[in-house]
Amino acid sequence: MQPHDAGASARKTDAGEPEQRLTDGHVGTLVRERPREHQGAMAHTLHLGALLALTGGALDAYGFIRYGVFTNAQTGNFVLLTISAARGRWQHALRYAPPILAFVGGVLTVEALKRPRLAALFRHPQRAALLLEVVMLAGVGLLPGGTPDLLVTALIVFTSSVQFSAFRTLVDTAASTTMTTANVRTAAQNVYLALVDHDREAARRARHFLVVIGVFLTGALAGAWLTALLGTRAIWIAAALVAVCLLRNLRDERQGRAGSTA
């Protein structure tokens, strides 16, 4: 592993693409080293990522058990839509369209929060995203029993998309708290680098990603159990978890400011 050039703002990756640094308020792709003075704050970011992954797993299990659609990863919904269409079951195929559109809506919402006018109102887009997620999940739990399933699933997918779009970095590496495929790839890659190249940073990243993957699976297991036990009200557990994430975000920021001024 080549030494990191502290004087460069970006460098080339194996694919020839620039490897961006992680800067405050922006998501980078892969940063090899952490500034020593911010290690404490970054460790707390791992805790926040784990809490978000717990929520992501619970929401995915809730959505699939209650409504038969994937609320996080839309690949499954795309596949189910095309299979139903290929079989001529157009009405069944259309049930997967609202979640996909809701996911797009969540992405656009997070992007809108970064625009200058909205940024002036919401100085912390991630915090605004978490607050929006808490309100919407709590609201879903209050919907009457006769509410159409398509509306309920669309609202849940929207909140999952907001989380997916607002939190895309685990400590210093691109990651997801709402799905695991990319996380498994990153974990496997870093385990290989740690074992073969004795790369300490890779070993650290591997540990972090294995934790998040395990927590996501735990959330899915707990979500399945709570959904069977509580039914619709299980969504409030997810809302409470996001509220804890919001409090954790506030705490991490305060500790980060304290560390930077020390």
Query: CA-CA distance, 164 to 175, in Å (whole number)?
Result: 9
Identify the CA nearest to 70 among candidates 47, 48, 98: 98
Say yes or no to pLDDT of 61 above 70. yes
Say yes or no to pLDDT of 37 above 80. no
**Are the CB atoms for 237 and 128 separated by under 8 Å?**
no
pLDDT in tens, 79-122: 989 999 999 999 888 888 999 999 999 999 999 888 888 777 77
At residue 9 the predicted structure's pLDDT band, cuts being 50, 70 and 90, is very low
Mean per-residue pLDDT for 153-166?
92
At residue 211 the predicted structure's pLDDT band, cuts being 50, 70 and 90, is very high
**Are the CB atoms for 20 and 10 separated by under 8 Å?**
yes
**Are the CB atoms for 154 and 99 separated by under 8 Å?**
yes
Query: CA-CA distance, 101 to 76, in Å (whole number)?
Result: 14
pTM above the 0.85 mark?
no
pLDDT at 126: 82
Identify the CA nearest to 189 among candidates 173, 169, 176, 177: 173
Say yes or no to pLDDT of 193 above 90. yes
pLDDT in tens, 222-262: 999 999 999 889 999 999 999 998 888 787 677 666 665 55
pLDDT at 168: 87
233-239: list long-range contacts, CB under 8 Å, 24+ apart: 233/141, 234/58, 234/62, 235/62, 235/137, 235/140, 235/141, 235/156, 236/137, 236/138, 236/141, 237/58, 238/55, 238/58, 238/59, 238/62, 238/137, 239/133, 239/134, 239/137, 239/138, 239/141
Q: Locate tokens 């934790």: which residue?
A: 211
Structure tokens at 42: 């970054």
Number of other residues whose CB lies within 10 A of the CB of residue 8: 11
Read off the DSSP letter of residue 37: G
